[in-house]
A and B are shown apart, each in its own frame.
Chain A
Amino acid sequence: MPLIQAKNVSLSYPILGIGPVLSKAEGTASSDNPPSASTGALLSNAGTRVKTIDALRDISFELKPGDRLGLLGRNGSGKSTLLRVLAGVYPPTKGEFTTQGRLAPIFNVGLGVRPEATGRRNIILRGLLNGLSTAESKSKVDEIVEFSELGPYIDMPVRTYSSGMAMRLAFATATAFSPEILLLDEWIGAGDEDFQKKAAARMSTLVTKAGITVIASHKRNLIKQVCTLGLWLDGGEMRAFGPIDDVYEQWDEHNRRANAPLIQIRRTQPDPPPQD
């Protein structure tokens, strides 16, 4: 059974090649400079030689089979970093962290593919990566071509694909090798409406097979449609974790308060349309 367990996970990582110049200018966070006042996580270690980012701080949660988690938060709040921790790509600096189950990470178009190779070759590479033999990987090609609707493009180099097509290939491939944990970052929105529906449907079959899905997205519709749980990240810290509607409620409440003065100033203007 797939399982994800995070206990007090923190992650700091160095930003190489920046040097000490920036750290003097920005300093560390203080009450005047709370993390949520800007995008991005805390920059720390002012004055030391290597600049580090405290990308995640003290994150604890647990996902059981069938859970579908939506990660929400502003740009740079740590959603993608957390996904990479879940994938086992970023080892956490502190805390304990366990994943069990076959992983399918899709983070960015262009990551984890060979752009010069054809779609077909990339499917086989992904199969090999999942521990299948070449023959077993080849046997998945037809199914993936059908689902992704790439047709003859499957024998073209991936660099010739549009971002939507690359997304179709990546999603179809990742889900074809019966993953138990599906990790999706953001760009799932690159597909057209038809494909998004198809993708959502496939994600729900994954759930009936008792898998775990984690999606980071700014698309409220998509998250509400797919996810049961929500985790709200703010400056690398966990603000809320729970049923998706509750988390969105807290998030809206927070945004209302944060934006209140702004709305007063702009009273002459019509209210902004509700965020969707």
Chain B
Amino acid sequence: MTARVEQNHDAVGRQASLSAALRDIFQAVLRWRLWMAFAIEDLRQTYRRSLLGVLWISFGFAIFVAVKIFIFGTMLDRANDQYYSAYLMIGFYIWFYVSSSITSGTGVFINSEGWIRNDPIELPVFVFQNVVRHAFDLLMTGLVVVIGMVYLGLGASAYTFMVLPALLALLVNALWVNLLLGVLCLRFRDLVHLINAIIRVMFFMTPIFWLPEQLPARAMELLYWNPFAHFIWIFRTPIIDQQFALDSWIYVSVLTIIGWIAAILAYAITRRRLVFWF
């Protein structure tokens, strides 16, 4: 399968082209071997020469969660509360993925300068690379969550299967977030730092370790606009409350559609100029 490269560059240098953007995304999907290899290379680079290698992802998460359960559990006097332990664990599980996928998303294009300036690769390839690389984190820390749930003696119910569409929603959203942030942060480098700052703040404004019931009504209304909370709820509510998080699913669905439209538009408008923004 040796693809022939045929390029026809038209004269409209500044014209945004939606179909070209969509074609890029589609072509990038077909290059799955390439972005899988890039993602594996990222993992190798991060964990090279370490004894446990990628097991550090699970191990590091397990240590972190155990300590947090101990600290917050003691503080809130819920140390032996299985519900709260599971609540914390799942909250951190989703938060780790969401925050790392966003902060690394700011650099999807910035960090691939060497390829983008050398080879005519469809740029969404680097988005898939980063999302897959972090999906691996999601898998490795997910194993810890499964073991943790068994250890806590919290069984599965019919609702537990809602984690599968929730994981899918996480990945689908990570894709547009990475594409949009990749484009914006390449052009406006201040955004990289701004987003890092926002993420640090959002940690405290998201119900990861605290319970929404502790909030006054006014704050609860604000919490409803926090997208991070909804991504946690679509995952956590079915597991520990055995309920279908309908409101959160509606919120997430709308966000997915708006986000994808924004990301595709941003990419379509900028795709021919991105290479000059390094």
Contact = CB atoms under 8 A, between A and B. Distances in A.
Contact of B4 (A102, A113, A128): A102
Contacts of A95: 11
Given A89-B120, A116-B41, A116-B44, 15 more contacts: A17-B189, A91-B272, A93-B13, A93-B14, A95-B11, A102-B3, A105-B118, A107-B118, A112-B118, A125-B38, A128-B31, A128-B34, A129-B121, A131-B1, A131-B3
A98 B8 contact: yes
A91 B2 contact: no
A97 B12 CA distance: 11
B117 A111 contact: yes
A172 interface: no
A87 B119 contact: yes
B141 to A, nearest CB: 24
A174 B31 CA distance: 19
19 contacts: A14-B276, A84-B117, A88-B5, A88-B7, A88-B9, A88-B120, A89-B117, A89-B118, A94-B11, A95-B11, A111-B117, A112-B114, A112-B115, A112-B118, A116-B48, A121-B41, A131-B1, A131-B3, A134-B33
Contacts of B275: 89-91
A87 B116 CA distance: 11
B112 to A, nearest CB: 10
Nearest to B32: A128
A90 B7 CA distance: 12
A90 B8 CA distance: 12
**Most A CB within 10 A of own CB, among B114, B119, B121, B277:** B119
Interface of B: 1-11, 13-14, 31, 33-34, 37-38, 41, 44-45, 48, 114-121, 187, 189, 272-273, 275-277
A124 B37 contact: yes
Nearest to B272: A91
Given A112-B119, A114-B41, A128-B33, A92 B9 contact: yes
Contact of A102 (B5, B14, B189): B5
A16 interface: yes
B5 A99 contact: yes
A108 B119 CA distance: 12
A208 interface: no
A206 to B, nearest CB: 16
Contacts of A107: 117-118
A134 B37 CA distance: 9
